[in-house]
A and B are shown apart, each in its own frame.
Chain A
Amino acid sequence: MATPDTQGLSAAYSQDGAAAETSSVQTAASEAPFYSILFESGTPNLDTVPEPGYFGDLNLDQVLEALAAGRDHYSLEPFFYLVLHDAEAVGYRHEVFRDLEREEVREPVERFAQAMTRMREHLAQVDKLRHRLQKQAWLLDAIEIYCRAVESLASELAELDLRARALDRWRRYLRAYAASERFAALVSEARELQNALGSLEYAVHIHGGHVSVERPQGEPDYGVEVEATFAKFQQGGVRSYLVRLNDYPEMDHIAGRILDLVAKLHRDVFGRLANYCDRSRGYLDEVVGRFDREAQFYLSYLELVDRFRAKGLQFTYPEVSDGSKAIDVAETFDLALADKLVPAGQKVVSNDLRLEPPERVFVVTGPNNGGKTTFARTFGQLHHLASLGVPVPGTRARLFLPDQIFTHFEREEDIETLRGKFEDELVRVHEILDQATPNSVIVMNESFNSTTLDDARTVGGGVLQQILDLGAPAVYVTFVDELASLSEATVSMVSQIVPDNPAERTFKVLRMPANGLAYAWAIAEKYGLTYDRLMETIPS
């Protein structure tokens, strides 16, 4: 079954009194035919979108895994691979998110999704079962679940004040669909059949291998008689002897034969069932089905957001720009890392990122394991997330929509191939700089760490200079302090330690001049090796 005819739809719109009262944007939008809650118009072939090259480096694969957990059958991956490049498209999704953040909007959509899941489970069962009548019964239930889901969502959405263009259009579509004659017939016949089947009672007489199937003649319940006779011995609670008999959906051949005979006793009802099932095979509306899948993009992400918010972490709708490269994000964090720390009850450290022209590149230095890599990932993640049109970690965010994102993370060290490796790295960095434009975002993490200080200074300095010349916003993580003050376009960021206990990291990365001495001093103090301490403890 395809989209209901547009004639019927526009007729439904013009009768809609509520539409006249809504804002002009919505009225204008209502004239556009509804297509998708992800894309305002048309959509690329989602299923051919590959995973971006930086996904693994930024640990976005882990984030996606968390998002898609338990949602395998929706194939959500492409939704999270495909980035948007204009602010308008991002706004279309922000609107939906904002609406869905309201319980009264989200709950009906979630219930709809749950019902659709149940429906799919039923259809899977139809495929698995072998008995013709059982297949029909499960299909009937599937259709009934679908109809109820559509009806509920249509009526619940009708009550709501929806601000998102996408949801408003969807609501109009759904209302017209639910009001269509064809849908009404689908519903009423399903219910009649269910009632008819539910009220049937049949009798089976089993004597040895002889089985009769009959209409019951009002014979009394024998169990009740037995219980009545023994009632006087009732002594309080005793265990149940009810045996849990198999409750698989399937039937064995004997139960199947009995069912066939019951169907023979009630030809009329079962005839109608067969006929209905034949006619209703393609009952699922394509647009309804697409909404069900696309809604998961929002629901899965909001579920993640809620989990973090419950632990006091904040999310915000970034102000996105495809022109200005000014970046300003407050109290943001690495989403993948947070997803590991939060369940373990550990604290998530947030950082601020700010690049104001002429600043273009963060140069991050400081002690190892102090949060430098995390800072770099966060920077990359923020740009990808902003480009997906989802709320990003932080209390406030202004971000640039890049044309591309490039990452270069140092690969695992391997002494054997050290020289070969350095060349490989250079080749990769070269490719990045070839492809990058001034509107790309670049993340370079400890790119030349496994080389000598001299090389790191000269080669690293050279690469950094090229990035600066390109003018692309970037993060450059290095142990070479000097690079932090290469030009007025570099911003020096330093990962922090707890002064009293250098072994403990704060994971804070702060804007300050690169100063490797602070760490050295602190660790020396701890072991009593500072100048003053040594002067005190060493006898004169």
Chain B
Amino acid sequence: MQPTEGLPREPGSAIERDRRSSGDQGGLPNRASMLMVGAVSRAGSWLDVASGGRGTPAVPALVDIGIGAAGFAASGAVRVVRMSGRVAAPVGAVLMHPPLLPRTWHPATLVSGLGDRGRHYRQASEREVDAVTAALVPRVIAAVLDRIDLTELVLRRVDLDRVVGSVDVLAAVRRLDLTAIVLEGVQLDSIVAGVDIDAIVERIDIDAIVAGVDLDPIIARVDPDPIADRVNVQAVIDRIDLVGLAKYVVQEIDLPEIIRESTGSVASEAVRGARMQSIEADQAVQRAVDRLLLRRRHRPTEPQGPTEPTADGPGA
């Protein structure tokens, strides 16, 4: 049952049409009677449904005639009362405010006090009804929900596809903190433990990935200075045999030869050539003499005694 304050007031509504057809332009008594008749009619429909019917019981014509007659009589009574009120209004005004009497003794004052008392009583009653309703409605709803299968009702009565189609899922997802949901609700360790990473890595063509990477801009963005600052160069140097390395380089490039070629004189070159030729001559003479003397063993020409360490060759 809808409250009277919520009744439709549009000119084309059913209540408005009934009001016009009944010759009434409004008024609480007429509306109350309409609500009463409608409630009785709906109660009959509900009883029909409860008894297994379709909710459209056959209403005898006599009932409609009775309702029409009662409505006509009620509207006529209302008109009579209104006309009587308009006629008796001047008399009533004199009666309510008789002359020569103090205002405190006027009947209107008494009636006004009764009105105030009745209004206060009505407001208190409304508050009491609101409190009872607030306490009763949840219980009634709970009892109703206990008696019905809401899920089945929704499935039968609700077009879920249309509802879901009207939902902006992306907007809802954007409002969610998916990272926090995953971190709190997902056992990542157990999931990762079950993953065969080796198999995944074997399927990856790392060479192709690297070949597709343009390293130049990446390297251009790298600042080598901080990296170099973190490198312990002294530790690296300590692990290197610098003396051996320098000696190896000098000997491999024959630095003495370079120095001699750049600074040596013709005389030193001549002396060097003379020395080498004399050594070769010594070897030739030794071989010839040994051949003449039928010596088969190589002539040992190393001096006896401890070998003297020299700066430029084997010891003496």
- Are A and B physically bound partners? no
Q: Which residues of A contact B (CB under 8 A)?
A: none
